[in-house]
Amino acid sequence: MPSPSRHDIAISGVGVTSAIGQGKAEFLSALLEARHRFRTMRRPGRQQPVPVSTARAQPPQQAPGFLGAEIESLSMPSSIAPGLLRNASFSAQVAVATLHEAWVDAALHEVEPTRIGLVVGGSNVQQRELIQAHDAYRGREQFLRPSYGMSFMDSDLCGLCTHAFGIRGLAYTVGGASASGQVAMVEAIHAVQSGRVDVCIAIGALMDLSHWECRGLRSLGAMGSDRFAHDPASACRPFDRDRDGFIFGESCGAVVIEKLQTAHRTGRKPYARVSGWAMGVDANRNPNPSVEGEVAVIKAALECADLTAEDIDYVNPHGTGSAIGDLTELASLIQCGLGRARINATKSIVGHGLSAAGAVETIAVVLQMQAGRLHPTRNLDDAIDDSFNWVGSKAVAHTMNNALNLSMGFGGVNTAVCLQTLS
Amino acid sequence: MSKESILEIIVRHVSEVIPALASHPFQPSDSLKALGANSIDRADIIMMTLESLALDIPLIEMAKAQSIGELAGIIHAKS
């Protein structure tokens, strides 16, 4: 039995909104049953507009669009004044709804507002709505809504959330591409450790892609799927030989970070101790990952947690379904001696939330630890390395003491977080 | 367009921005501020009105209006 981490940081509350469900209970049951919502995306602005001349000649269904998983309907708590939301983007509204769950979960109404902080992970998260505003006002720019001048900034998510919940400690955004959610968690941990606040919420914001970002990510070879254009259910397949890129999934996660000694306010055991964490960069502007960088953060997080690789009984990998990313990650895990821990891929069910992924997957980890069950990995028909201890098409029972959660982002960003069950 | 018609358009946009006012008995003497519109709401309401009327007038011209009636008057004078 490993000695308890020297760190006394805990996760006292969570909130999650995703295409597979809103709220932790719905999210966990969808994960365990591998209920996905992948299809050709329909949210306005997600597909390249079909020119009128082409539309006549060729109905849109002849040309499948970008695939992904979209939130069917967002349930907004009645305590949030509708007026506050009128000029809030979809990303901002989802952040408020998700934070509400975490807020209630961690009983944050009992905490002095000046002692609460908020770190929002993600940059340029409102692209689809901005493009829609540009399209609506092109040629008559003088009528652009004045509130655009306020809401176009990602920090409007901070403004809206702090306004809605009366937060008066600190609030800012951090960007780390697809590692943003975990970068936000690391920032929140530092804010609590340094004593700047007693409680800090880390949000992995919903990255609201427009068809322009989808196109860029597809052209770059990061986003799938040419191979499964007509079979959305099969397109998202991390670690499978037939993968051809990540499949987008709208999501947002809120994680409440505080010291163990204050977390008892909730009247129940915190979800987990954050026993170790690490962030590093590769001195590489490009999207390609590196074994060296990933190994460095895994080792640093384990060391921070006073753990060895043998102590880890579950790895929640970044696992996007990208050609090189998945291979690099498995090579890194093997090099760190983590080839025997149980492993699954949350993105195979949720999709890739980009800025949200790190926070959403940390929530997936702690909910699975609490349930003592691991969710299936969808579409893992022919694993690129079958020596790993994969959770395949069925959920499994598994007792976990220590889990490792990884995130990587374009521009050489690597993060790792160790989560420990509290006895 | 008559001043009354402009006032109707303003009222429509006020209700759009502040849905709670949908059944409010609007009077020309009502001030946007007193109706609960903050400075961002007020700017959006005025811009939505100008957009509906396709009138390109600098927002600053509307700043001195103390009520929705005065606002309708200023817009009417510029249209």
- What are A314-333's pLDDT values in tens digits? 999 999 999 999 999 999 99
Average pLDDT of the residues in A234-261? 98
pTM for this predicted structure: 0.95
Q: Which of residues 60 through 79 in chain B touch A, CB cutoff 8 A?
A: none
**Percent of chain A having pLDDT more than 70?**
96
pLDDT of residue B37: 95
Give burial (CB, 10 Å; 0-12/13-18/19+) of B8. Answer: middle
Query: What gap in Å lies between CA A97 and CA A269, rounded to an integer?
Result: 24
CATH class of A11-266: alpha beta
Distance (Å) from the alpha carbon of A86 to chain B's nearest alpha carbon: 7
Residue contact B44–A144, C-beta within 8 A: no
Q: Tell me what the mean pLDDT of segment A336-347 comes to.
A: 97
Whether pLDDT at A5 is above 70: no
Assess A140–B contact: CB distance below 8 Å, yes or no.
Answer: yes
Could you tell me how many CB contacts below 8 A there are between chain A and chain B? 29
**Hey, where are the domains in chain A?**
11-266, 272-420
Complete domains list, chain B, with CATH: 3-78 (1.10.1200.10)
Least confident window among A1-5, A169-173, A226-230, A315-319: A1-5
What local confidence, expressed as pLDDT, does residue A6 receive? 74
Q: How far apart are CA A186 and CA B6, in angstroms?
A: 53
Gap between the Cα atoms of A312 and B18, Å rounded: 53
Using the Cα atoms of residue A190, residue A196, residue A198 and residue A203 in order, give the sign of their dihedral. Answer: negative
In the predicted model, what is the mean pLDDT of chain A? 95
Under a CB-based contact definition with an 8 Å cutoff, are residues A112 and A265 in contact?
no
Structure token digits, residue A289: 């990952």
Confidence band, pLDDT 50/70/90 cuts, at residue A3: very low
Which one of A83, A86, A143 has the shortest CB-CB distance to B47? A143
Residues B39-78: tens digit of each pLDDT: 999 999 999 999 999 999 988 889 899 999 999 999 999 9
Quote the pLDDT of residue A165.
Answer: 98
B48: contact with A, CB 8 A cutoff: yes
Probe site for chain B from A143, A151, A152 (most B CB atoms < 10 A)? A143
Which residue pairs from A39-43 have beta carbons closer than 8 angstroms and sit at least 24 positions apart in sequence?
A: A39/A67, A39/A68, A39/A69, A39/A70, A39/A232, A40/A64, A40/A65, A40/A66, A40/A67, A40/A232, A41/A65, A41/A66, A41/A67, A41/A68, A41/A70, A41/A214, A41/A248, A42/A70, A43/A70, A43/A128
Q: Does residue A25 belong to the interface with chain B, where contact is any CB pair within 8 Å?
A: no
Q: Do A146 and B50 touch (CB under 8 A)?
A: no
The minimal CB distance from B51 to the residues A143, A147, A150 is found for: A143
- Residue A55 — pLDDT band, cuts 50, 70, 90? low
Domain A272-420 in the same topology as domain A11-266: yes
Mutate: best of B18, B35, B38, B47, partner A, most A CBs <10 A: B47
Minimum Cα–Cα distance from A144: chain B residue: B47
From B55's Cα to the closest Cα of chain A, the distance in A is 9
pLDDT at A297 > cutoff 60: yes
Percent of chain A with pLDDT over 90: 92
List, in sequence order, the alpha helices (H) in A15-119. Answer: 24-32, 52-57, 82-85, 90-105
Whole-angstrom distance, CA of residue A395 vs CA of residue A391: 7
Judging contacts by C-beta atoms under 8 Å, the chain A residues touching residue B13 are: none
Cβ of B44 within 8 Å of Cβ of A145? The answer is yes
> How many Å lie between the alpha carbon of A168 and the closest alpha carbon of chain B?
21
Residues A223-250 have a mean pLDDT of 97
A54 touches chain B (CB under 8 A): no
Question: What's the average model confidence in pLDDT over A365-375?
Answer: 98
- CB of A82 within 8 Å of any CB in chain B? yes
Beta-carbon separation of A144 and B40 below 8 A: no
Residue range A60-80: mean pLDDT, rounded: 88
Specify the pLDDT at position A58.
56
User: Contact at 8 Å (CB) between A414 and A281?
Assistant: yes
**Of the listed ranges A51-65, A135-149, A167-181, the one predicted with least confidence:** A51-65
The more confidently predicted of residues A266 and A215 is: A215
According to CATH, what is the number of the domain A272-420? 3.40.47.10
Contacts of A168 by beta carbon, 8 Å cutoff, 6+ apart:
A113, A114, A116, A162
